[in-house]
Chain A
């Protein structure tokens, strides 16, 4: 939300309107749209959560699907092994799934964050496949490749998706709020400093190791909770469908599409891309053709909008506002900077 909604009066009004619209979605929609809305809000939450690590610190994790799957399995295993009946109680276990995912992320992060840049990317991928293997191999616990069946919610029919929609929406709002609070905090400033120059950040007294780990754990915990709701929603989970590399890369693509390190970018990216992907899947069936669509969007965005949509629009607006007479003002000269170093610390969050 760099400058798009900069006017102070417009911002709360816009937010309120968006929130009201989001809350009203199930009232005006048919069952098909409602389950589409579940997926879209799910990705809004995932992209926002990923951005807390990837966008703010610049550490690209391609393995966040590991936490998504871990959350789904944690909730599923609780329901199955503790014999918790289907209903609304499983939603109360979602925070528990979040806490356990946070513990796992602390362990993984402790190892993965010894590395930087390219190696970090690869190590996160390795951990994701490790988790997928565990889900497949611990047959007694997870059911292995045969999958894990969760209790089926007692409500059904047209109403089925709606509780899940509100659960996903609550988590998405939680994610955006956490992300917003972090951006405005000293902690967030430290994360941005790490992204710009980790060694200098350490030199000026930013506890880089602790900050990186904290961002990683927060990001993973949110993803784990969303995974838990997702697992209950689909009621039958398989290792390769919840620890799915495509889910991991989708959230990354959405963040890059919307604007890395911005608050509204991941939200916008998730809505646009997940909606178009669902349309694509709906019209072209279950074929893997949408992979080609994904690849094309990816390549076009990186080629032409390496900063993402939101910062690019913000730049455009700012340039128009300042006019040409004033000479190239801030944003214009900033655009010559590397795309992921878009000084969000200085812009209004």
Chain B
């Protein structure tokens, strides 16, 4: 029983990271109606950026975010301008292919520079732990969770308390109407893509400390992130956060009760069960032609 409880706590802590990465993905979908299949590769890219800073100047991974998040934000805006914006027709299908191509390109370039050997970000809090009553919690999970909480909080504040956030939400609800009331939807889209990339950088650091990764790690990551946002309902930030927690808690409990090899499978089973009953996901809206 303690083991199950411990697994649940760990699931919530690691779920925060996935919530952060998935929220960027669902935000991009909401604003632009595109699925960014490259989000996983961008997370890995963020992790490698921090890895380079760490290897050359011994910058603390969390501290390196001060550099990598703006860099990734800028990269996101540029990628959006070059590759996504020119898609005027059938963008939902074509964007999947474009972002898949971006993912393959990043994987190829990273593989060329860093080879396919696994690396991991190192810091003192990576293995150090503290104890609450019976069980031990490694610091990195707590720090990562707090970081994600802070960024998610900032994201929600921006969305619901600022004019720019209102513009984003208006664009998500109805692009044409937003344009009519004077919102520059192209600018909103570019910035939203940048924000999505910045969350990928932050997610990448926590992912890079808790997992060994190589340029090919993005396949596993993106399959998880995509299933999270489908379970939560495409375009729903709240859904992404809750689905991420459900996923990681399910996985960690399955790992303890059944076996670690069946952990990811358990989540897929939940996803399939939900889709049979609610094809639009937990918090998705059933819009004709969009589901």
Contact A118 B215 (CB under 8 A): no
Contact B265 A130 (CB under 8 A): yes
Chain B: CB-nearest residue to A294: B104
Task: Kindly list chain A residues whose C-beta atoms are within 8 Å of the C-beta of B109.
Answer: 292
Chain A residues bordering chain B, tally (CB within 8 A): 49
Contact B108 A295 (CB under 8 A): yes
**Interface size, B (range):** 35 or more
Contact B223 A125 (CB under 8 A): yes
Judge whether A178 is part of the interface by a CB distance below 8 angstroms.
no
Task: Kindly list chain A residues whose C-beta atoms are within 8 Å of the C-beta of B108.
Answer: 288-295
Task: Kindly list chain A residues whose C-beta atoms are within 8 Å of the C-beta of B230.
Answer: 119, 122-123, 126
Task: Kindly list chain B residues whose C-beta atoms are within 8 Å of the C-beta of A296.
Answer: 105
Q: What would be 10 A-B contacts, judged by CB atoms less than 8 Å apart?
A: A60-B96, A116-B290, A119-B230, A126-B223, A126-B230, A129-B223, A133-B264, A289-B108, A298-B104, A299-B105
Contact B89 A198 (CB under 8 A): no
Residue from B94, B262, B290, B291 in contact with A302 in the complex, judged by beta carbons closer than 8 Å: B94
Chain A nearest CB from B183 CB (Å) reads: 23
Task: Kindly list chain B residues whose C-beta atoms are within 8 Å of the C-beta of A133.
Answer: 261, 264-265, 268
Judge whether A185 is part of the interface by a CB distance below 8 angstroms.
no
Chain A nearest CB from B97 CB (Å) reads: 6
Judge whether B164 is part of the interface by a CB distance below 8 angstroms.
no
Contact A287 B98 (CB under 8 A): no
Task: Kindly list chain B residues whose C-beta atoms are within 8 Å of the C-beta of A337.
Answer: 89
A34 to B93 CA separation, bound complex (whole angstroms): 35
How many inter-chain contacts with C-beta < 8 Å in the A-B complex?
Answer: 141
Which of A58, A287, A337: most chain B Cβ within 10 A?
A: A287
Contact B279 A114 (CB under 8 A): yes
Contact B264 A287 (CB under 8 A): no
Contact B290 A253 (CB under 8 A): no
8 Å CB interface, A278-335 against B = 287-296, 298-299, 302-303, 306
Contact A60 B98 (CB under 8 A): no
A119 to B227 CA separation, bound complex (whole angstroms): 9
**Besides the contacts A111-B272, A117-B290, what 18 more A-B pairs have beta carbons closer than 8 Å?**
A62-B96, A62-B100, A119-B281, A123-B230, A125-B223, A137-B262, A199-B288, A245-B219, A287-B111, A288-B108, A292-B104, A292-B105, A292-B112, A298-B98, A299-B98, A302-B94, A302-B97, A338-B89
Contact A114 B89 (CB under 8 A): no
Chain B nearest CB from A20 CB (Å) reads: 35
Closest 8 CB pairs of A and B: A291-B108, A295-B105, A298-B101, A292-B108, A338-B89, A288-B111, A114-B279, A295-B104
Task: Kindly list chain A residues whose C-beta atoms are within 8 Å of the C-beta of B116.
Answer: 288
Chain A: CB-nearest residue to B109: A292
Judge whether A214 is part of the interface by a CB distance below 8 angstroms.
no
8 Å CB interface, A104-122 against B = 111, 114-119, 121-122
Judge whether A134 is part of the interface by a CB distance below 8 angstroms.
yes
Residue from B93, B219, B271, B276 in contact with A58 in the complex, judged by beta carbons closer than 8 Å: B93
Judge whether A339 is part of the interface by a CB distance below 8 angstroms.
yes
A157 to B276 CA separation, bound complex (whole angstroms): 51
Judge whether A340 is part of the interface by a CB distance below 8 angstroms.
yes
Contact A338 B90 (CB under 8 A): yes
Contact A136 B288 (CB under 8 A): no
Task: Kindly list chain A residues whose C-beta atoms are within 8 Å of the C-beta of B186.
Answer: none
Task: Kindly list chain B residues whose C-beta atoms are within 8 Å of the C-beta of A62.
Answer: 37, 96, 100
Contact B97 A298 (CB under 8 A): yes
Residue from A115, A136, A290 in contact with B275 in the complex, judged by beta carbons closer than 8 Å: A115
Judge whether A249 is part of the interface by a CB distance below 8 angstroms.
yes
